[in-house]
Structure 1
Amino acid sequence: MAHVNFESLQTDELWAIHEQIGYLLARKLQAEKSVIEARLVELRRRSNLHPKFQNPDEPSQTWSGRGRPPKWVSSLLATGKTMEDLRILS
């Protein structure tokens, strides 16, 4: 890459370089953003986890086992149930 002495350039030359760099930078950032957004869509698509645990008293309440447990899990564990008691059998 050639070294340019920016101090020796005229204002209009510097401005033209500035505009060109701004344009190129915006294009490259948009391309990177598109790649990241596509990866995010793919990750979200893969994150459809099947539930592994179910509330025996309220079968519509399920949990995948990831993240913070729902309140119903904590409540049932406090009453003496185990995670195996809540596991959905496949």
Structure 2
Amino acid sequence: MANIDLNSMDLSELKSLRKDVDAAIKTFEDRKKKAALAELEAKAAEMGFSLNDLTGSGGGRGRKVNPPKYRHPENDALTWSGRGRQPDWYKEQVSKGTAPEDLLIVKPR
């Protein structure tokens, strides 16, 4: 560690030093966390995984993905959760006379 002669510094230099030290203290834990995260990500990548694969966390803000509720009758890749804007395929099927209940993935008993 550098030997700093505080007695030889003027007031503005001391305040600047204090400001730098306060900033270093404030960000110390964040820097340590980032270094640990980088090390863990590198180790996971070395083993052929992402950190999200291993922890099961999807990142993001904890947003829940709603499972599909409706499926296109001819193309299983086209699904809709029943929330938000209706997809074009859904509107097209309903306009052709298909009942929305017929497009449900899990039919009520």
Stretches of structure 2 lacking an aligned partner (at least 5 in a row)? 1-9, 38-56
Q: Give the residue type in structure 1 aligned to 2:72.
A: N
2: CA distance, partners of 1:67 / 1:27:
43
> Does the C-alpha gap of structure 1 residues 28 and 89 become closer, same or farther in structure 2, counting only changes over 3 Å?
same
1:40 deviates by 6.5
User: TM-score of the superposition, structure 1-length normalised?
Assistant: 0.55
1:20 deviates by 1.9
| Greater fraction of residues in helix | 1
SS in 1 for 2:90: helix
Stretches of structure 1 lacking an aligned partner (at least 5 in a row)? 1-8
Q: RMSD over aligned Cα, in angstroms?
A: 3.4
1:29 deviates by 5.9
User: TM-score of the superposition, structure 2-length normalised?
Assistant: 0.48
| Higher RCO, 1 vs 2 (CA within 8 Å, ≥6 residues apart) | 1
Q: Which residue of 2 aligns with 1:75?
A: 92
Identity of counterpart residues, as a percentage?
24
| 1:42-89 CA distance string (max 9 Å, x none) | 825x53x43211111323312222333322112122223332121012
1:12 deviates by 1.4
> Does the C-alpha gap of structure 1 residues 88 and 74 become closer, same or farther in structure 2, counting only changes over 3 Å?
same
